[in-house]
Amino acid sequence: MPRSIIAGIGMYVPDNVITNNDLTRHMDTSDEWIQERTGIKERRFAHRTKETTTTMGVEAAKIAIERAGITAQDIDFIVFATLSPDYYFPGCGVLVQRAMQMNEIGALDVRNQCSGFVYALSVADQFIRSGMYKNILVIGSEKHSFGLDLTTRGRNVSVIFGDGAGAVVLQPTEDEGRGILSTHLHSDGSEAEILAMYNPGTHANHWKEGLADFDEAEMANMFMSHQMIDNAQLYPNMDGQAVFKKAVVKFPEVIMEALTKNGYQPADIKVLIPHQANLRIAQFVQQKLKLKDEQVYNNIQKYGNTTAASVPIALCEAWQDGKIQNGDIVCLAAFGSGFTWASALIKW
C-alpha cells in the first residue's frame, strides 16, 4: 500500500497586521494582558471585501501546487477545512474548484474547527493509500475577522483569532521510509457547546444558554432574528478555561498515541507543530513531553489562532525556515471545538 507524502506546501496571510494595541481602540484590553495569557503580539485581518476564506485558500494552494511541480488541472480531489466558510452552503471546496479552473473533481469540506486540517489530512491520506487519488489538495483557511465581536463584550474570544490559509498537495510514494506514518482522530461531544457558535443553526432551543430571552415556541421557529443580533448571539462562545484544561491533557495524549504506534519517543521528534491555540498551551505540552525549544514550532505570536489554517501555516513556515529536512520525524497535533483532537506523524 502506498504512503502519502507532502509533495508541496504553501501559505498565505493577509498584509493587514493588527497589533494588540490596535485592538485596544475597539475594546477594553491591553497588549500586556493578551501577551501574558496567550503569547499573541499581532494577527492578520483579511481585506473586508477583496479577501475571503476561499481566496486565501486559493493563494496558499497555488504555492503548494507549484512546489509539487504540477498544475491545478492535475489535482484530482480537494479537501477544505474551515469554520468560517464563504457561504453557509455550499462549502469552500467547490469555490476552489471554480476559482482554479480545475476538472470536475470531488470537493469535500471538513468542519472540525481547530483540528480541521489534521482531520482533512487524514481523510486525504486514506484516499491516497487506497489508490483512489494521486494528487489531493488539502486546504485549511479562516477569515475569522468577519465574525468576531470586536467589542469589550467579546474580548475573551476576539483577541485570540486571526486570518490566514495553508495548503498541501498529497501524493503517493512507494518509498517505504517516507510519508504520513499514521493519523489519529478523536472526539468527545459531551461538552460541544463550550466552544461553539450556536446561531444560525437548527438546534431550535435544544441548547438554551444564551437564548433566555426567547420562549420555546418562538425560538423553535427562528433560524436568525433581530434579537439574535441585538443580543450578540451570532458570535462564537467560549469557556476559555475549560478548553485550556482539556487541551493540555488531550494534546500530549494524542501525540504520544502517534509516537507509540510507530515505535518512537518524544526525543525522536524533529519538529512538533501544535495547533496554535495559545502559546501557554504549547509550552505546557512541551514541558509535559520534555521537548527542547527547537523541537516545537510556534508562530502564534505573529498570526494569532488561525484555527484550521494554523497547522499548515506553521508547518509551511517551519519548512521554509529549513527546520524540516528529508527523513525528519514531524508531528502535527490539534485540539479544539467539538471537542475534537487529532495527530499525524510524518517521516518527511
Catalytic residues: 114, 275, 305
Q: Which is nearer to ligand UT7, 16 or 156 (CB)?
A: 156
Q: What's the min distance (Å) between Cβ of 163 and ligand UT7?
A: 14
CB of 156 to ligand UT7, least distance (A): 4
Q: Which is nearer to ligand UT7, 63 or 185 (CB)?
A: 185
Cβ partners under 8 Å of residue 145, min gap 6 = 18, 45, 46, 48, 161, 162, 163
Percentage helix, strand, coil for the chain under 3-state DSSP, each rounded to 5: 40, 25, 40
H or E stretch including 1?
none
Burial class (CB in 10 A: 0-12, 13-18, 19+), 202: exposed
Cβ pair 282, 300 in contact under 8 A: yes
The least CB distance from residue 41 to ligand UT7, in Å, is 14
Question: Which residues are CB-contacts of 231 (< 8 A; sequence separation ≥ 6)?
Answer: 210, 213
Closer by beta carbon to ligand UT7, 11 or else 102:
11
Q: Please, which residues have CB within 8 angstroms of residue 217's CB and are 6 or more apart in sequence?
A: none
Contact 40, 302 (CB under 8 A): no
Joined together, the cell numbers standing for residue 94 give: 467547490
Instruction: Enumerate binding residues for ligand UT7 (CB under 6 A).
Output: 29, 33, 37-38, 114, 155-156, 159-160, 195, 240-241, 243-244, 247, 277-278, 281, 305, 336
CB of 283 to ligand UT7, least distance (A): 12
Residue with cell 491516497: 128
Is residue 228 a contact partner of residue 199, using CB atoms and an 8 Å limit? yes
Residue number with CB closer to ligand UT7 (243 or 254): 243
> Of 8 and 166, which CB lies nearer to ligand UT7 in the complex structure?
166
Q: Which long-range contacts (CB under 8 A, 24 or more apart) does 49-55 make?
A: 51/14, 51/143, 51/163, 52/86, 52/143, 53/82, 53/84, 53/85, 53/86, 53/92, 53/141, 53/142, 53/143, 53/165, 54/86, 54/92, 54/95, 54/96, 54/99, 54/141, 55/99
Minimal distance, residue 218 CB to ligand UT7, in Å: 31
DSSP tag of 104: S
How far apart are CB 244 and ligand UT7 at their closest, in Å?
4
